[in-house]
Homo-oligomer: A and B are copies of this chain.
Amino acid sequence: MADISREDLDEIYAFAVELGKQAGKMLMDAAQLRINGGDETQKEKEHVQKENAVDLVTETDENVEAFIKTQIANKYPLHKFIGEESYSKGSSRDYLIDSAPTWCVDPLDGTVNYIHLFPMFCVSIAFIHKNKPLIGIIYAPFTNQFFSSCTGRGAFFNQTQRLPLVRNPVPPMSVNAPSGCIFSCEWGKDRRDTPDGNMHRKIESFVNMATELGGREGRGGMVHGVRSLGSATLDLAYVAMGAFDIWWEGGCWEWDVAAGIAILQEAGGLVTTANPPDNYATDPIEEVRLGSRLYLAIRPAGPSSTETGRESQERTVREVWRRVRNLDYSRPGA
């Protein structure tokens, strides 16, 4: 398949930016309707009250995805579309992204936050070609935070500030990483109390990262802070921003991470697998596979007097791998 020309890619980027803004506004308008409740017209009021928040959110989720899908189909009828809502209703969870030009969309990431009107929700739109996320759009309308990138054009916050935010110079990773780092992680939906199940493996990993140096039989990482926002997409956006140093997670699907990976990679971040290889200290650090469901992201880093930025990122990857457990997430049928 032929490459997409620079001109065409820039046009797709401009289209994606506008699409993200409109979709984010739809999310916020629907949230505002729930907030205003009785201040709206009687018809809207009845609509809001007759269903619970979860049903309303599902409806919004589907409406926004349908809007995005239609806009894309009108503008680029030959492009593939993979959306969370339509995908999860299908019977297959096979990995559907191939080398064709493909849009990968989560109309609403941070669904639990949206249900509770906690501002950390967003729309996430990625454009992928030859299995590479080339364009990423993330818009969190409640706090008016807009993240965007196009390969070769840089990554941006609110379209004007380049990512990472601090870039004169971009700081290297902490010398004693993960100490000094903000570690972002999520508890997720799988809360089964299964001995050695994913939840307990995650918690053991979180505790290792958090505990004082020397603690946990030498695995203590004494990170500067542990953060959980409830949105994988925004976690990645904040890694691209440089605000989070490390994000480690298992279980996400492509639409949760595609736009965030595009933005983070364009900003200079590193994304690989969550699961430590057999020899965490020396095995190669492979580039992330979009459908792997296992992700470890490190923020953009500049050089120090002793390391390149990439070297300090890779050192951090190995220090994380030393402290985390393997997670058991696979694709159905895989």
Taking Cβ atoms with an 8 Å cutoff, the residues of A that contact B are: 34-39, 45, 53, 112-113, 115-119, 143-145, 161, 165-169, 171, 182, 187, 191-193, 199, 203, 207, 210-212, 214-216, 220, 222, 224-230, 238, 241-245
Contact = CB atoms under 8 A, between A and B. Distances in A.
A244 B215 CA distance: 32
A155 to B, nearest CB: 15
B225 A187 contact: yes
B168 A37 contact: yes
A127 to B, nearest CB: 27
Contacts of A118: 182, 227, 238, 241, 243-244
A226 B35 CA distance: 23
A35 B161 contact: yes
Q: Which 9 A-B pairs have the closest CB atoms?
A: A193-B215, A37-B168, A38-B168, A118-B243, A143-B143, A187-B226, A112-B225, A228-B228, A191-B212
A165 B144 CA distance: 18
* Of A187, A226, A243, A245, most B-chain CB atoms within 10 Å: A187
A116 to B, nearest CB: 5
A167 B227 CA distance: 29
Contacts of A203: 203, 207
A71 B30 CA distance: 41
Contacts of A216: 193
Given A145-B143, A191-B210, A212-B191, A113 B225 contact: yes
A230 B225 contact: yes
7 contacts: A35-B166, A37-B169, A39-B168, A117-B165, A117-B241, A143-B145, A228-B228
A191 B244 contact: no
A229 B35 CA distance: 23
A245 B145 contact: no
A224 B210 CA distance: 23
Contact of A227 (B193, B214, B224, B230): B230
A182 B243 contact: no
A171 B38 CA distance: 13
A116 B210 contact: no
A114 B34 CA distance: 32
Contacts of A193: 211-212, 214-216, 220
A207 B226 CA distance: 15
A16 to B, nearest CB: 23
Contact of A117 (B145, B166, B199): B166
A144 B191 CA distance: 34
A215 B191 contact: yes
